[in-house]
């Protein structure tokens, strides 16, 4: 078996168990192959003839096809040339045999799915017949030689090259010697089995090896004659990061975690609002045919040379930049306009496979279009494919700080109305990014583990649209001075929302702060199940705790407004917005409740100004659809609940993607001049696509699934398309449904032929101008063919 030191294992990883059992030789392995494939031999004459030349040079004469010879031959005058060349003597015994130049006739990389290399390197799920291995772990290859290898007279070494200009100094041209015993942390090979002309080598790589695609060359040399041969193998070797290896910086403990964050090819991505969390299945598909090649193509398209691909921090930073397209023609073009002509609506994607295949197929043309969950899903695919443990993460009420203040600032005029052109900071209903797992030797101790990385293009980092990796431990403690992009991520999850009012002289004063407005219900898929798990505690201390306040104030001292916490303000009246159940549904009136509470021992009066606006999920407002003024009088310790209704007729023609709205409340308490401010986002829930498997499913046999949908709107949906896909079931297939009448039911039947046995997920999404974020999923148990 192959080895990598695991937790608790302190023995040498190069013990006798490294020798694998020798496989039987297939018929093709014993056949001679053409000179084209067998490598180039420096000396053209046979070993026997070469020996005879040295033993008896005076007897050596060249034979001509005719009896006419002109000119000197081997320094012998023409008249002295004999008409017949003497036959060289027959050589017997090992000594004479060793004079023959040793050549490699063929190479077996042992790269079948069931072979030892792929099973022990956890790469047997990749849909490829190439050798895919993980660094820091031995792998084995078999060589078919022209004769038996003799260690006394033969020398052999391997060379592996990656990139367009391999260099030994850059660790992209590797020379691998043949040694008696393998040692850790170096490239070397050991002969572990020999049978006639066939040998098996165990090859070791260091845990710092550059990842990527390598070319293999085998060179042999006769120590007595100096003659050499080279064999350039026609198949590539793919090297990945190794999270199973304790010495690799991406090492992760726990088989359940590795199975989830590296080997799971499907997952869940969360969206909506903190009170209306939705979930959709995403096909990561990191093992699908062509995806590994596509991921390496993404790296090749970047400005980072192959020599920089041994450090996961650098690789993650490159991928963060290359998944978006603004400055480097990366994988996805972002689009938040609502107009997706010429491309695919972001809500219509259900997986990464077709996106990466299209990008690779079109030689680096960005795919249209993506939004945050699409950027995150593709990032998860690429990093898992390369061997870095990764998960998609959703932050609800996610702040976008544009001025590095580490606060989310809301500016109001003298009449408490928002000043829109100044309100560049925004709070997204939700934002999806990624966590990836690695050590951080470039940071102080204790800051390894989960790192936040965000591929959605929001702000530039050192001139490029990218973000991270930022240590979650650093974010949690407010250490925003640590790289990379920690201030931006901190503001996303733990900034305070500060309200500023314009004075008559044009200056601004701080009138209110909301310390719990940002960073709620940070969510990811649970290990081993489709349940949602809340990981907010990894990003921030409990809201309002002393540790959390210290972290916020520590971070803000490094921001552009370090004195923001200098003035305390009255706070005995609170206002909040509540919704019942799962919240309003698309096609009906939106009903919310406004709760105002007086916690003082004195009566309080206030006038609340309310306005609701249609909003992109990014927090950018489109149009205001309703305004109200509410007069509220409160007795001491009284709490009042006010009903608030937005009729369907007022928003039906205004909605954009995600069907999100923002309700803004502002007011001032008459007795204390305390400012009341609250912003609540909510979405109108959309129906699901219901998918039902029809009959039993078997590998290689056609089966079916029924997909049903009900239009929730009192209007006709135009040009409806249902997109269906499933890893191991079928590639992406768009079904043109056409127009769907108001409140009408639609049923379509999808036929497909499963390719892989086991529990597979069939995913469908609806693509329609008037209705987005409609999708469904079902599990299909595929049996082996009978």
Binding annotation = 494, 496, 543, 548
At 354, phi and psi to the nearest 5? -65, -35
400 given a catalytic annotation = no
Closest CA to 311 of 439, 185, 500, 417: 439
Burial 123-162 (b: 16+ CB within 10 A, else e): beebebebbbbbbbbbbbbbbbbbbbbeeebbebebbbbb
CA atoms within 13 A on the CB side of 483: 10
Residue ranges of the binding site for Ca(2+): 494, 496, 543, 548
Place of tokens 């305004």: 627
Residue 410: both structure tokens together? 């809301």
Do the beta carbons of residue 59 and residue 86 sit within 8 Å? yes
- Residues 6 or more apart whose CB falls under 8 angstroms from that of 766 comprise 348, 689, 709, 720, 721, 722, 723, 774, 775
Given 372, 521, 556, 768, which residue is catalytic? 372
Place of tokens 């599990």: 779
Dmax (CA) of the chain: 132
Instruction: List residues bridging with 185 in a β-sheet.
Output: none
Residue 538 CA, distance from chain mean position: 20
Given 236, 248, 435, 454, which residue is catalytic? 454
3-state DSSP percent of the chain in helix, strand and coil, to 5 = 15, 35, 45
- Residues 6 or more apart whose CB falls under 8 angstroms from that of 595 comprise 575, 576, 577, 578, 639, 640, 641, 642
Give CA–CA dist 421/426, Å, rounded.
12
Give CA–CA dist 603/166, Å, rounded.
79
- Evaluate the omega torsion of the peptide bond into residue 484 and state whether it is cis, within 30 degrees of 0: yes
Given 233, 360, 400, 431, which residue is catalytic? 431
CA atoms within 13 A on the CB side of 91: 16
768 given a catalytic annotation = no
Instruction: List residues bridging with 221 in a β-sheet.
Output: 155, 228
454 given a catalytic annotation = yes
Do the beta carbons of residue 494 and residue 404 sit within 8 Å? no
Give CA–CA dist 596/575, Å, rounded.
5
Helix or strand holding residue 314 (H, E): helix 312-322
Give CA–CA dist 527/391, Å, rounded.
10
In what side-by-side order are the strands of the sheet with 497-502? 408-412, 497-502, 508-514
Residue 265 CA, distance from chain mean position: 11
Do the beta carbons of residue 282 and residue 524 sit within 8 Å? no
Residue 530: both structure tokens together? 């489709």
In what side-by-side order are the strands of the sheet with 774-783? 697-698, 774-783, 758-767, 717-726, 730-740
Positions marked catalytic: 372, 431, 454
């Amino acid at each position: 078996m192959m080895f990598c030191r695991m937790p608790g294992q302190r023995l040498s990883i190069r013990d006798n168990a490294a020798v694998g059992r020798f496989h039987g030789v297939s018929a093709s392995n014993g056949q001679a192959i053409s000179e084209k494939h067998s490598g180039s031999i420096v000396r053209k004459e046979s070993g026997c003839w070469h020996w005879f030349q040295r033993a008896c040079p005076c007897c050596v004469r060249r034979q001509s096809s005719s009896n006419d010879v002109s000119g000197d031959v081997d320094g012998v005058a023409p008249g002295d040339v004999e008409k017949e060349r003497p036959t060289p003597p027959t050589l017997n015994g090992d000594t004479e045999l060793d004079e023959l130049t040793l050549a490699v006739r063929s190479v077996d990389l042992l790269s079948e799915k069931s072979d030892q290399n792929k099973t022990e390197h956890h790469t047997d799920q990749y849909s490829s017949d190439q050798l895919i291995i993980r660094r820091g772990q031995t792998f084995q290859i078999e060589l078919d030689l022209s004769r038996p290898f003799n260690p006394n007279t033969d020398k052999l070494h391997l060379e592996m090259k990656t990139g367009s200009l391999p260099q030994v100094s850059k660790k992209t041209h590797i020379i691998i010697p043949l040694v008696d015993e393998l040692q850790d942390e170096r490239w070397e090979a050991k002969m572990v089995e020999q049978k006639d002309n066939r040998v098996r080598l165990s090859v070791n790589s260091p845990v710092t090896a550059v990842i990527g695609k390598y070319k293999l060359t085998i060179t042999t040399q006769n120590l007595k004659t100096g003659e050499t041969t080279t064999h350039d193998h026609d198949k590539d070797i793919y090297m990945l990061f190794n999270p199973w290896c304790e010495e690799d910086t991406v090492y992760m403990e726990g088989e359940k975690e590795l199975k989830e964050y590296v080997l799971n090819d499907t997952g869940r991505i969360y969206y909506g609002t903190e009170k209306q969390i939705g979930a959709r299945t995403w096909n990561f598909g990191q093992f699908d045919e062509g995806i590994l090649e596509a991921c390496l193509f993404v790296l090749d398209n970047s400005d980072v040379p192959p020599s920089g691909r041994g450090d996961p921090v650098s690789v993650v930073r490159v991928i963060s930049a290359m998944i978006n397209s603004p400055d480097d023609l990366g994988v996805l073009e972002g689009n938040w306009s609502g107009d997706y002509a010429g491309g695919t609506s972001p809500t219509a994607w259900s997986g990464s496979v077709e996106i990466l295949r299209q990008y690779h197929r079109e030689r680096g043309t960005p795919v249209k279009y993506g939004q945050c969950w699409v950027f995150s899903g593709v990032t998860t695919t690429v990093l898992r494919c390369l061997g870095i443990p990764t998960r998609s993460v959703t932050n609800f009420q996610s702040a976008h700080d544009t001025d590095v203040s580490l606060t989310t600032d809301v500016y109001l005029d003298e009449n408490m109305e928002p000043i829109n052109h100044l309100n560049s900071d925004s709070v997204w209903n939700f934002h999806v990014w990624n966590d990836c797992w690695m050590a951080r030797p470039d940071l102080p101790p204790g800051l390894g583990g989960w790192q936040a990385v965000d591929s959605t293009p929001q702000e530039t980092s050192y001139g490029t649209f990218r973000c991270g990796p930022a240590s979650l431990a650093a974010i949690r403690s407010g250490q925003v001075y640590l790289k990379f992009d920690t201030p931006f991520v901190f503001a996303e999850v733990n900034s305070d929302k500060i309200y500023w009012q314009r004075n008559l002289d044009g200056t601004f004063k701080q009138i209110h702060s909301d310390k719990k407005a940002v960073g709620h219900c940070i969510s990811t898929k649970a290990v081993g199940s489709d349940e949602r798990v809340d990981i907010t505690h990894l990003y921030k201390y409990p809201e309002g705790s002393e540790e959390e306040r210290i972290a916020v104030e520590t971070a803000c001292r490094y921001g552009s407004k370090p004195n923001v916490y200098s003035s305390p303000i009255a706070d005995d009246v609170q206002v909040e917005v509540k919704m019942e159940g799962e919240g309003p549904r698309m096609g009906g009136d939106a009903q919310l409740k406004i709760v105002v509470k007086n916690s003082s021992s004195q009566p309080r009066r206030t006038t609340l100004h309310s306005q609701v606006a249609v909003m992109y999920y990014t927090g950018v407002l489109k149009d205001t659809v309703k305004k109200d003024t509410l007069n509220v009088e409160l007795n001491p310790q009284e709490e009042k609940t006010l009903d608030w209704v937005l009729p369907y007729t007022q928003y039906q023609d205004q909605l954009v993607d995600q069907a999100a709205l923002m309700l803004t409340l502002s007011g001032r308490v008459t007795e204390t001049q305390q400012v009341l401010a609250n912003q609540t986002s909510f979405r109108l829930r959309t129906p699901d696509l219901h998918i039902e498997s029809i009959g039993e499913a078997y590998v290689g046999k056609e089966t079916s699934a029924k997909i049903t949908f009900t239009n929730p709107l009192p209007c006709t949906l135009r040009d409806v398309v249902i997109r269906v896909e499933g890893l191991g079931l079928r590639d992406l297939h768009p079904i043109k449904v056409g127009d769907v009448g108001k409140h009408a039911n639609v049923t379509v039947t999808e036929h497909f032929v499963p390719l892989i046995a086991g529990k597979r997920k069939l995913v469908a999404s609806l693509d329609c101008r008037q209705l987005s974020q409609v999708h469904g999923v079902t599990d299909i148990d595929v049996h082996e063919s009978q």
